[in-house]
A and B are shown apart, each in its own frame.
Chain A
């Protein structure tokens, strides 16, 4: 499972960065979104990957991380998701404003060569 998780984080990050470096604002937006998905998965994996382990204490099971999933990264991911979502929405608004003002979707407000 670790290798699949690692590969998917890697794929998301690399495609995110590639899109982030593109010249059109919408591609940049999607790049940022993919990057944030990768980051969220990464935070999640930093609590160590476990399957079928609940983050809540159960009576009778010893209270150590061998039997439970670490709840802290899960809480962090929730916060990160909310913040990233809000920021993406904000970026989208600015993107549309820039599109309207400059009449192009190039990140510098003008096409290269002109």
Chain B
């Protein structure tokens, strides 16, 4: 590996971090400059992420996996902190970059002037997110979690106002408590195994003595609770709809990736530490994830059906997507996990687009439609006769928004012909192909869950769509800037591209899932990575 490529691994953390640090002293009136710098930095991060994606995918043409390891301070793996890029990390990096870019572009039209330090905070969050996805060390994971959370606190409060400050207060308190749990979990695991490196941990867990095993599992469970609070698993998700529905819309779009951080951590650690090779601890906690995931989907679906407000609707969709992922990854089958990864990507992109879309739609609705919603709540569904006959001339903006809304609904509900369907189809096919299908009820429950939750999402979004786009007699056409439509269209176009290019995308997801279910290569890659031998005076 050449020197440039080697250092590329740390670039997704350094670039946003340095950019953010540079932007802090710039005064607020130089907002345009800040926005330009932020855009360049984010675009750069995306370019790096996609390069890493190419490297991670191309290194092993024979279907095996290869990991690029970056040793900070040139200390080899169990002693120093390592950054690791494999397919999953690279995929998450790329996804993060795209979502953050969309939120950023949307914010430039209007929202970034609603408070101070918006762009610096976004870059700090991007650095934290990238760090979480790259790190191969448990405590370093905590540090990056805190970096991204600290930035997210600031972003959650962006725009201020009573509602945001109230929701922000709860959000911070819950995440601080979760951080305490994170630390307790990490230290218990360290106490039981004597290591914090994820790969080293995975190698040591089968040999942990019986007396220490309880301690280890308790630590892992507490750590899991901390991740599940982030991922929004029921009953730890009570804060999520309240927070996500009041934060500034571009921030909410960026937060669409935040729940996926929890999912990523669970996916990475549980398949690495408690996979088939973990000896007595194999599949530890899987039944909890399964039950919790199912409960989350049910809670999210009921919440969806009960929501009148569009932002709450989107928040509950986040929960449905989280729950589906949590429940499905416990099956422990590479095919199912591959489909789940596809679903993760699609649902994140669609949710981000949905949060942005809602803001634009709400802008046009503020005058009269809220009144209708209130009437609806108070008097039931009583205004059907107000619906105009078919054939109202839709203004172009409304047409674009309506099509966007429909695409979002199709993606989130997982209906053909778009990629949401392909993701669900991949999961369902893999579930059908499980060997012990007749003996075990779990796959059937999961299949039912996937289909019924899709139906709930479809119902809820269709109802909302009818109310927003068809019912208003005099629709105020929202004034929308090009910069605001562009990220929405871009995100949805990406989902459409993933539909057309579904075959290579699905192949990549399957390869990623295969890597995750065979962690030996990851462990060996991290632990046997050689130190960089270089003359001392030659190094910068």
Interface residues of A (CB under 8 A from B): 20, 25, 28, 32, 35-36, 39, 42-43, 46-48, 72-73, 76, 79-80, 83-84, 86-87, 90-91, 94-95, 97-98, 101-102, 107-109
The interface-forming segment of B186-194, B358-366, B437-445, B521-529 is B186-194
B153 in contact (CB, < 8 A):
yes
Complex CA–CA separation, A42 to B160 (angstroms): 37
> Chain A contacts of B187 at CB under 8 A?
39, 42-43, 46, 73, 76
Q: Does B179 contact A (CB under 8 A)?
A: yes
A94-B143 contact given A42-B187, A43-B187, A46-B187, CB 8 Å threshold: no
- The reply to whether B166 and A72 form a contact with Cβ atoms under 8 Å apart is no
User: What are 7 sample pairs from A and B whose C-beta atoms fall under 8 A apart?
Assistant: A46-B187, A72-B196, A73-B187, A84-B176, A87-B146, A90-B150, A97-B160
Q: Is the CB of A32 within 8 A of B177?
A: yes
Whether the Cβ atoms of A42 and B184 lie closer than 8 Å is yes
Closest 4 CB pairs of A and B: A46-B191, A46-B187, A43-B187, A109-B166
Bound-complex Cα distance A98 to B168 (A): 9
Tell whether A83 pairs with B146 under 8 Å between CB atoms, given A46-B188, A97-B165, A101-B162: yes
A36 contacts B180, C-beta separation under 8 Å? yes
Q: Does B157 contact A (CB under 8 A)?
A: yes
B143 / chain A contacts, CB cutoff of 8 Å: 79, 83
Q: A46-B187, A90-B172 are in contact. Are A76 and B166 (CB under 8 A)?
A: no
Interchain pairs with CB closer than 8 A, number = 85
Residue B276, interface by CB 8 Å: no
State the CA gap A106–B74 with chains docked (Å): 50
A36 nearest in chain B by CB position:
B180
Best-buried of A42, A83, A84, A86 by chain B (most CB within 10 Å)? A83
Chain A residue contacts of B508, Cβ below 8 A: none
| B166 and A98 form a contact (CB under 8 A) | yes
B183 in the interface (beta carbon within 8 A): yes
Tell me, yes or no, whether B469 is within 8 Å of chain A by CB: no
Residues from chain A with Cβ under 8 Å of B179 in the complex: 83-84, 87
Query: Given A39-B184, A97-B165, A98-B166 in contact, is the A79-B139 Cβ separation under 8 Å?
Result: yes
Q: Mark B181-222, 1 if CB is under 8 A from A, else 0.
A: 001101110110000100000000000000000000000000
Please name all residues of chain B whose beta carbon is closer than 8 Å to the beta carbon of A80 when the two chains form the complex.
183
Bound: A25/B172 CA distance, A: 12
A28 lies within 8 A of B183 (CB): no
Residues of A within 8 A of B165 (CB): 94, 97-98, 101-102
Residues of A within 8 A of B378 (CB): none
Q: Is B173 a contact partner of A76 (Cβ separation < 8 A)?
A: no
Interchain CB contact under 8 A, B176 and A87: yes
Chain A, residue nearest B168 (CB): A94
Q: Which label, helix, strand, loop or mixed, suits the secondary structure of the A interface?
A: helix
B173 interface neighbour in A28, A46, A86, Cβ under 8 Å = A28
Task: Indicate if B170 sits at the interface (CB-CB under 8 A).
Answer: yes
Whether the pair A94, B169 counts as a contact (CB closer than 8 A) is yes
Given A94-B172, A102-B166, 16 other A-B contacts at CB below 8 A?
Answer: A20-B173, A25-B169, A32-B177, A39-B183, A39-B187, A43-B187, A46-B188, A48-B191, A76-B187, A79-B139, A83-B143, A87-B176, A90-B153, A97-B160, A107-B173, A109-B162
Q: Is the CB of B166 within 8 A of A20?
A: no
> Is A72 touching B190 in the complex (CB atoms < 8 A)?
yes
Q: Is the CB of A76 within 8 A of B157?
A: no
User: Distance (Å) between the CB of A90 and the closest chain B CB?
Assistant: 6
Q: Which of B246-288 touch A at CB < 8 Å?
A: none
Candidate in B168, B177, B183, B191 with the most chain A CB atoms within 10 angstroms: B183
Contact B177 A20 (CB under 8 A): yes
Most buried by A among B160, B187, B190: B187
Please, which residues of chain A bring their CB within 8 A of the CB of B191?
A: 46-48
- Interchain nearest-CB distance for A69 vs B (Å): 14
Compute how far the CA of A108 lies from the CA of B238 in the bound complex, rounded to whole angstroms: 14
**Which chain A residues border B172 with CB–CB below 8 Å?**
87, 90-91, 94
- Enumerate chain A residues within 8 angstroms of B173, measured Cβ to Cβ: 20, 28, 32, 91, 107
Q: How many Å lie between the Cα of A25 and that of B196 in the bound state?
A: 35
Taking a contact as CB atoms under 8 Å apart, the answer to whether B169 and A107 are in contact is yes
Residues of B within 8 A of A48 (CB): 191
Q: How far is the CA of A83 from the CA of B157 in the complex (A)?
A: 20
Query: Which residues from A are CB-within-8-Å of B180?
Result: 32, 35-36, 39
Contacts of B170 on A, CB cut-off 8 Å? Answer: 107
Contacts of B184 in A (CB 8 A): 39, 42-43
Residues of A within 8 A of B183 (CB): 39, 42-43, 76, 80
Which B residues lie within 8 Å of A94 (CB)? 153, 157, 165, 168-169, 172
Contact B177–A35 (Cβ < 8 Å): yes
Closest partner residue, chain B, to A107 (CB atom):
B169
Q: How far is the CB of B398 from chain A (nearest CB, A)?
A: 35
Cα–Cα distance between A101 and B165 once the two chains are bound (Å): 8
Q: Which residues of A contact B157 (CB under 8 A)?
A: 94, 97
User: B150: which A residues are within 8 A, CB to CB?
Assistant: 86-87, 90
Q: How far is the CA of A57 from the CA of B173 in the complex (A)?
A: 41
List, in ascending order, chain B residues with CB within 8 A of A101's CB.
161-162, 165
* Bound-complex Cα distance A109 to B166 (A): 7
Tell me the minimal C-beta distance from B197 to chain A in angstroms: 11
CB distance from A85 to the nearest CB of B (A): 12
CB distance from A95 to the nearest CB of B (A): 7
Q: Point out the residues of chain A lying under 8 angstroms from B188, CB to CB.
A: 46
Shortest distance between the CB of A36 and any CB in chain B (Å) = 6
- Could you tell me if A108 and B166 are in contact, using CB atoms closer than 8 angstroms? yes
Question: Which B residues are in CB contact (< 8 Å) with A47?
Answer: 190-191
A32 touches B169 (CB 8 A): no
Minimal Cβ-Cβ distance residue in B for A44: B187
Q: Compute how far the CA of A84 lies from the CA of B153 in the bound complex, rounded to whole angstroms.
A: 14
Closest to A76 in B: B139
How far, in angstroms, from A48 to B162 measured CA to CA in the complex? 47
